[in-house]
Amino acid sequence: MFDEKAPKSVNRDMAILWAKRASLAVLGVAGSYLTFCVGLAYPLSSRLIRPRLKRIPQLESKHLRRFLADRGIGFEEVSFRSFDDTRLDGWWFEAGRDRPTVIALHGVSKNRTELVRFAIALGAAGINVLLFDGRGHGKSEGRFVTYGFYERRDVEAAIDFAVSQKGVSDVRIGLAGISMGAAITLQVAAANRRVRAIWTDSPFASLSRVSMDRLRTWTRLPVSALHPVMWVAMKVAERRGQFEVRAVDPLALAAKISCPVYLIHGDRDAVIGVEHSRHIFDALASAEKHLWVIPGVAHGRGFRRVTAEYAERLVGFFGRAFEGD
């Protein structure tokens, strides 16, 4: 590259030229990577806060209604308003005003139909059940999903609705949830002492951690390359959804939960790894806590795979929690 016989000034000029070329190359790579990060940020933020919704036709399913009617299970179409006037639509399964109540929360992109099994099992045990579509899901209003930042206040509104409109006791309230719904139950229980017990199936430990897990699965890129992409995507999501990602952290709140907690997770969960539940279990301050890891079960599929045992544990857990009230 350099000629030892050439004047020093020529070699100096060559060094400067190569340094400029190297700088331009570095800037080019950096610019390309920045473009890559920004290009991915918006679609990734959309995937996070505006997920593609599933099960929408099932909300009007005649087969589902006939299935319930054949078993003598009735329900009422209900709606209530959250703190920001967002309308939330759901189904109320009545067992009696003097009976305890469980509010069940579905996973991301799903709706209340995901939880009908809960309503059947708990209703048969004489427990009122409220199922509702989370904001931005099903028939409920709301543009963005925030995984508990606003949804935990939606659950507060659901509790208020059950107490004020259905006349149930405000000290006999339980929560059950799957996936995102499970993470929300933990966030609510950490702050609301009206919640007597929570059943939490396949929760994530924190939104930032599970988002990174999912991004690694989607792109198959190393973590070091994904951190800048995730940072930009999260900032875009926060700005669009008007929330804080770091505040959605069930693991950080676990030590504030004092009511009984039943954690469930499949050991074949490829969406939210079982280690999320293990970490939450270890951090819980609850005097009564359980962790049931179900062998060979994928994400949120426990009730489908081991139906009888799942229903028995579910009913038994809430039965003990409400015993003596």
What local confidence, expressed as pLDDT, does residue 26 receive?
41
Tell me the percentage of the chain whose pLDDT exceeds 70.
87
In order of their start, the domains of the chain are: 1-49+219-244 (no CATH), 55-206+248-322 (3.40.50.1820)
Rounded Cα gap, residues 100 and 114, in angstroms: 21
Using DSSP, state whether 26 is helix, strand or coil. helix
Rounded Cα gap, residues 138 and 292, in angstroms: 30
**pTM for this structure?**
0.88
pLDDT digits 0-9 by tens, 90-131: 999 999 999 999 999 999 999 999 999 999 999 999 999 999
Q: Please, what is the end-to-end C-alpha distance for the chain in angstroms?
A: 86
Other CB atoms closer than 10 Å to residue 64's CB: what's the count? 13
What local confidence, expressed as pLDDT, does residue 2 receive?
44
Q: Say whether pLDDT at 309 is over 90.
A: yes
pLDDT digits 0-9 by tens, 186-221: 999 999 999 999 999 999 999 999 998 888 787 776
Q: Say whether pLDDT at 24 is over 50.
A: no
For the chain, the residue count is: 325
Distances, alpha carbon 224 to alpha carbons 37, 221, 273, in Å: 13, 8, 20
Taking Cα atoms as reference points, which of 49, 77, 53 lies closest to residue 65?
A: 77
User: If pLDDT is split at 50, 70 and 90, which confidence band does 41 have?
Assistant: confident
User: What average pLDDT is seen over the chain?
Assistant: 89
When comparing pLDDT for 188 and 25, which is higher?
188
What local confidence, expressed as pLDDT, does residue 17 receive?
52
Q: Which residues pair with 93 in a beta bridge?
A: 129
Q: Which residues pair with 199 in a beta bridge?
A: 176, 262
Least confident range of 31-45, 248-262, 296-310? 31-45
Instruction: List Cβ neighbours of 1 (8 Å cut-off, separation of 6 or more).
Output: 14, 18
What local confidence, expressed as pLDDT, does residue 94 receive?
97
Using DSSP, state whether 290 is helix, strand or coil. strand
Residue owning tokens 């009230």: 325
